[in-house]
Amino acid sequence: MTESFPVLLGVMAAAAFLCRVAGFTLMRFVPVTPRVEAALRATPLAVMAGITALAVQAGGWAEGLALASVVGLTLLLRSDVAAALLGVAVVAALRWGGL
Amino acid sequence: MRHECAPYGAVTRALFSLDGFRRGARDGVPLAVSIFAYGVGFGLVAAQAGFGVGKAVATSAAIYSGSAQLAAVNLLQSGEATLWALFATILVINARYLLFGAALQPWLWQAGPLRAYGSLLLLGDANWMLTMRRIRAGEADRAYLAGTGAPVTLGWLAGTALGTAAVSVLPRPEALGFDLMLACFAAGMMTAMAKTRADLLPVLVGAGAALGIFHWLGPAPAIIGAGLAGAAAAALLHRGAP
């Protein structure tokens, strides 16, 4: 690798920027029918479920229990942010306890 | 096409106010805490790869994506990085942003091109999830997205700087549970967002697709695959007009 750091940085920044704007730009040419709208509405839920499922799979009991408690606490407290922060405390405590 | 009740409903030029920006910034603070910790984690890795504070912070500002930066630093460390390999790595790892941008487009485009593309510069996983959730709850101010990005950016850059500078004295973020923060936010927002039985479909399809694809192709395609599978399932089972 002989390129200087600013060149490397520029190439990496260009790739990251391309990903940020390309989907958005292409979507400008897709008419938003009710069916497309249903797909777009489902996307965040599916991505969130995917992130959660991968974290459960990659982790052990501590991670699984913490994420399950986030789901329960969100329903109980009606605040997803408070539940998420408590979930972090749960996993830290469980790991500290050796689980 | 105009849908009266939909959050994506068409308006000539949507609201983009300081008020909305502030609301987003306030909601973004808890996210910024987690991104700060993630930034510390990246800083620690960057320092071990021989990056100084300036180089690490410049990387965080230019790429602004933790997973892509970690992969890039790994590649640079291997000594086998070419410009094309770096470009392709970031493209693959950040491909989920194609989906994030597409999902935001009907709402964000109404702010006009300059504001829309400017806001996209501050787009990340956590504030995308937060903004999509708020759009569904009726958020009309398009400055909300940029607002959520402001504290997150500060947290990301400050965390990177601290992690790189104080590599020898800091505890690993894992010890405090911060590595699970994004997943915790995802689980919480998903629970809060799923209000009807129809919402369970993308949840189940997304989780199943992520696990299946991860098994064969690894984590980056798994997240994109989850989003695409959930979207496809919802489109296929959509009742009513095409």
pLDDT (0 to 100) of residue A1: 55
Answer whether B204 sits within 8 Å of A49, measured CB to CB. Answer: yes
Size of interface A-B (CB pairs under 8 A): 305
ipTM beyond cut 0.95:
no
3-state secondary structure (DSSP) of residue B1: coil
Cβ atoms of A26 and B104 within 8 Å: the answer is no
Smallest CA–CA distance from A86 into chain B, residue: B184
> Pick from B101, B178, B183: which is nearest to A23 by CB?
B101
Give the pLDDT confidence of B105-157 residue by residue, as tens digits. Answer: 999 999 999 999 999 999 999 999 999 999 999 999 999 999 999 999 999 99
Return the pLDDT at A45.
95
Q: Which residues contact A81 (CB under 8 A, 6 or more apart)?
A: B27, B30, B185, B188
Of B62, B65, B233, the CB nearest to A9: B62
**Spatial distance between the Cα atoms of B91 and B226, rounded to a whole number of angstroms:** 18
C-alpha distances out from residue B101 to A10, A35, B23, Å? 22, 18, 21
Q: How many residues does chain B have?
A: 242
Å between B99 CA and nearest CA of chain A: 6
- pLDDT tens for B143-173 read 999 999 999 999 999 999 999 998 778 777 7
